[in-house]
Amino acid sequence: MKHLFRKVSSVDVLKDGFVLRVHFDDGTVKNIDVEPVLYGELYGPLRVKELFDKVTVDDEVGTLVWPNGADFDPDMLYRWEEYVDTFAAQMKKGDYAVR
């Protein structure tokens, strides 16, 4: 993946499902449904809405983070549509290794 070096500037949790409105430093705003990748030890716990809703932006690295240590690469979030299917397939089958 060629890095775009985008950063997340803010995030809003939308009330239905596991959708986030993510604001990027270039002014782009995307609604991202992360539900397809919420599996495994790190991301699985985010299916508990109370934990999911505690998402914040780490200003130092410019990405989304949760209290349990889960986070997403900001470039992957920016290009979510390109990566979600592959990422979801890996998470569902337990293939958590970073490629």
pLDDT tens, N- to C-terminus, the chain (99 residues): 566 689 999 999 999 899 999 999 999 999 999 999 998 899 999 999 999 999 999 999 999 999 999 999 999 999 999 888 877 788 777 755 443
Identify the CA nearest to 73 among candidates 20, 11, 4. 4
Quote the domain boundaries for residue 58. Answer: 8-92
Q: How far are the Cα atoms of 36, 53, 54, 79 from residue 92, in angstroms, in the given order?
A: 8, 22, 23, 20
* Amino acid 85: pLDDT: 80
Instruction: Please state whether the predicted TM-score (pTM) of the whole model is above 0.75.
Output: yes
Q: Is residue 61 part of a domain?
A: yes
- 55 lies in some domain: yes
Q: For position 4, what pLDDT does the model report?
A: 65
Distance CA 53, CA 25 (A): 22
Give domain status of residue 46, yes or no.
Answer: yes
- CATH number, domain of 74, equals 3.30.2020.10
Say how many domains are in the chain. 1
φ/ψ of residue 27, rounded to 5 = 95, -10
